[in-house]
Amino acid sequence: MMEKNTDFGAQFSHNVQNGITPEMMESLPPVIKNWLHAIGAVGHAPIRNIRLNQTGTIKLKPEQKEWTASESEQISHTDPPAFRWDVKMKLAPGIYVTGKDSFERGLGSMRIKLGGIMPISKTMENEKTNQSSLQRYLMELAWYPTAAVGPYISWEEEDAYTAIATLKYAGLQGSATFYFDEQYELLKVEAWRYKESDEDSRLVLCTGTIKEHQRLDGLKIPVELEISWLLEHGPFTWYRFRASDIRFNTI
């Protein structure tokens, strides 16, 4: 069960119950103000949570030639920051792997099981996993953009079409860079994350590239994406997916 609202976050939600206002965005970089206007976030009720399904393909290793079909469900909360991602990958007829990636109360965890029963790997309450999970949450801000003016995130202007978001929560801190086009549509998000959680793992640039947006409930959000790691030998795109059955504030 994910944590309920903190007092600070609850007060913020109360203040914006009638929607995000221009006054709330006064301290934001111009590019973020323009983005929030362009996607319909101004005047939109605050997003407390989002539930969505993903249909896509995954590569577990760069040398893997064939893509593995996957289906997943994700639930994300904005106050406090949290998410849970459950995925099922079909390896062969009758053979599948399940995975759960979550971030709750500042703790990240990742579990993978064969056939949904036999554990293959498990990483919990690891400092690098916590940090990487925080970064993932921040990179997915475009699904809950009203949180851009919330109590956990601050912004810094990089240039006219680029801004850096910094998220502080539960003793953790992470940043992600948001890139926009001239119409202030979000093109991609980048963050330095730990790809692995072992002692020797180092930060690797992770990129989420947006292929398509759609309007839902008056809000323009990403629905088709590619996720890549920048490895020593070059980019490794490991996940391609399309989001569907997207629902706000149903939990």
Segment 208-250, tens digit of pLDDT: 999 999 999 999 999 999 999 999 999 999 999 999 999 999 9
Q: Is residue 34 in some structural domain?
A: yes
Q: Is residue 184 in some structural domain?
A: yes
Phi then psi dihedrals of residue 128, to 5 deg:
-75, -35
Residue 184's domain comprises 30-60+69-246
Q: What is the mean pLDDT of the chain?
A: 89
pLDDT in tens, 108-122: 998 876 544 443 345
Q: Compute the distance between CA of residue 179 and CA of residue 238 in angstroms, rounded to an integer.
A: 21
Tell me the one-letter amino acid at 78. Answer: T
Cα-based angle 147, 229, 142 (whole degrees, multiple of 5): 15
pLDDT at 187: 98
pLDDT in tens, 184-194: 999 999 999 99
Residue 10 has pLDDT above 50, yes or no: no
Cβ contacts of residue 186 below 8 Å, gap of 6+? 35, 142, 178, 179, 180, 210, 213, 222
Q: Do residues 227 and 237 touch, judged by C-beta distance below 8 A?
A: yes
Q: Is residue 214 in some structural domain?
A: yes
Q: Is residue 208 in some structural domain?
A: yes
Q: Is residue 121 in some structural domain?
A: yes
Q: Do residues 213 and 221 touch, judged by C-beta distance below 8 A?
A: yes
Mean pLDDT over residues 157-179, rounded? Answer: 98
pTM of the model: 0.90
**What is the total count of domains within the chain?**
1
CATH number at residue 167: 2.50.20
Q: How many CB atoms lie within 10 A of CB 64?
A: 12
Q: Is residue 16 in some structural domain?
A: no
Q: Compute the distance between CA of residue 6 and CA of residue 9 in angstroms, rounded to an integer.
A: 5
Beta bridge partners of 220: 215
